[in-house]
């Protein structure tokens, strides 16, 4: 019996050593793949570098609507990021301008930020550390890479390059060329109706905390001398019609107008802008063509 136990212990020890060796090879190989084939072109890492290195006083903050909806305006950088909730936007505003003096600042006035899905979202704990230069020593442990490790191995083994899902412009914008107009009219309508229902703002009584957060962020910027513009980005025609059936959207739009009055900001509501579906990626996001068209006019409405 002792001999059997001893043999089993040796087996477990050998298995553990072998498993550790495999894990070390996998992690080391993944790290090498990331650094040699992915990191230089990954849009998120380009974003982190832009955030940390740019000195621009003129900045756009928001989520994907702003990230893909504003580009090509001289002097501006776009630091909006896909999926950002208001707490994340607020944290980035304060981090970026902790050591910089702001001038013209555009904040996305997202009606959907008041929806249940956005209010229930949790902050990304890793990303703020990356922006502050406090990321992990090894990239393989960073969440943005960790989730795609097997994909990177597949690309490396087949000799395929890593191709980002969207382009990253020199000013930070992430543009897509997809045209919503390519969808059938009935499909566009159904998609918009579903989107309007899914992003429906919560009842008024549950919005107070978020309004307070927006007001504090705007005052933070105003106290630093910034000219602040709250922008509701354009919706496609089908989405404009879909939200008309829900008074909650109108209430939030009125709330942003009131917030601007109380804080000395400017509110520019472009939701009902007369733009065709060919300028949108989907019901709520401009594509690259739309962003280039809308951004200069948006900047003028905000600051002239």
Give per-residue pLDDT as tens, 169-202.
Answer: 889 999 999 999 999 999 999 999 999 999 999 9
Tell me the percentage of the chain whose pLDDT exceeds 90.
Answer: 63
pLDDT of residue 151: 74
Predicted confidence (pLDDT) at residue 1 exceeds the cutoff of 70: no
**What pLDDT does residue 127 have?**
60
pLDDT at 166 over 60: yes
Contact 281, 287 (CB under 8 A): yes
DSSP letter, residue 56: -
pLDDT digit string (tens) for 128-154?
A: 666 665 555 666 666 667 667 777 777
Nearest by Cα to 131 from 218, 225, 53: 53
Strand partners, 230: 107, 267
- pTM: predicted TM-score of the whole model, two decimal places: 0.83
pLDDT on residue 39: 67
SS percent in the chain: helix, strand, coil, step 5:
55, 10, 30
For residue 156, name the pLDDT band (cuts at 50, 70, 90): confident
Residue pLDDT, tens place only, 206-233: 999 999 999 999 999 999 999 999 999 9
Contacts of 99 (CB under 8 A, 6+ apart): none
Predicted pLDDT of residue 280:
98
What's the chain's Rg over C-alpha atoms? 23
Query: Is 209 exposed, middle or buried (CB count within 10 Å of its CB: 0-12, 13-18, 19+)?
Result: exposed
DSSP label at 176? Answer: -
Examine the pLDDT at 253 and tell me if it is beyond 60. Answer: yes
3-state secondary structure of 112: helix
C-alpha dist (Å) from residue 79 to 66, 74, 108, 266, 295: 9, 15, 11, 19, 15
- The whole-number pLDDT of residue 21 equals 73
The ranges assigned to domains in the chain are 52-136+167-303
pLDDT at 158 over 90: no
Residue 189 CA to residue 60 CA, distance in Å, equals 30
Nearest residue to 106 via CA among 132, 125, 78: 78
pLDDT in tens, 37-81: 666 667 777 888 899 899 999 999 999 999 999 999 999 999 999
Predicted pLDDT at 2? 60
Q: Dmax of the chain from CA atoms?
A: 88
**141 Cα distance to chain centroid:** 21
pLDDT reported for residue 212? 96
> Token pair of 141, please?
């442990």
CATH code of domain 52-136+167-303: 3.40.50.1110
DSSP, collapsed to helix, strand or coil, labels residue 105 as: strand
């Amino acid at each position: 019996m002792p001999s059997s136990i001893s043999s089993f212990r040796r087996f477990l020890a050998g298995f553990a050593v072998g498993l550790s060796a495999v894990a070390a090879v996998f992690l080391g190989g993944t790290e090498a793949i990331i650094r040699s084939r992915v990191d230089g072109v990954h849009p998120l890492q380009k974003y982190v570098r832009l955030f940390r290195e740019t000195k621009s006083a003129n900045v756009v903050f928001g989520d994907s609507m702003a990230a893909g909806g504003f580009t090509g305006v001289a002097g501006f950088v776009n630091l909006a990021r896909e999926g950002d909730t208001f707490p994340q936007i607020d944290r980035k505003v304060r981090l970026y301008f902790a050591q910089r003096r702001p001038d013209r600042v555009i904040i996305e006035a997202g009606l959907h930020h008041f929806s249940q899905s956005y209010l229930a979202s949790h902050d990304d704990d890793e990303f703020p550390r990356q922006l502050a230069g406090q990321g992990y020593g090894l990239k393989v442990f960073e969440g943005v890479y960790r989730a795609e490790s097997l994909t990177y191995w597949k690309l490396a083994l087949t000799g395929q390059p890593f191709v980002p899902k969207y382009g990253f412009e020199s000013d930070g914008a992430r543009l897509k060329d997809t045209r919503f107009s390519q969808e059938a009219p009935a499909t566009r309508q159904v998609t918009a109706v579903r989107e309007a229902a899914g992003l429906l703002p919560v009842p008024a009584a549950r919005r107070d905390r978020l309004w307070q957060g927006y007001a504090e962020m705007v005052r933070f910027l105003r106290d630093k001398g910034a000219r602040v513009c709250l922008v509701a980005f354009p919706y496609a025609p089908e989405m404009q019609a879909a939200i008309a059936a829900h008074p909650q959207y109108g209430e939030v739009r009125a709330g942003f107008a009131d917030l601007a009055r109380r804080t000395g900001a400017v509110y520019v509501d472009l939701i009902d802008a007369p733009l065709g579906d060919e300028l949108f990626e989907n019901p709520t996001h401009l594509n690259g063509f739309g962003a280039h068209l809308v951004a200069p006019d948006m900047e003028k409405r905000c600051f002239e």
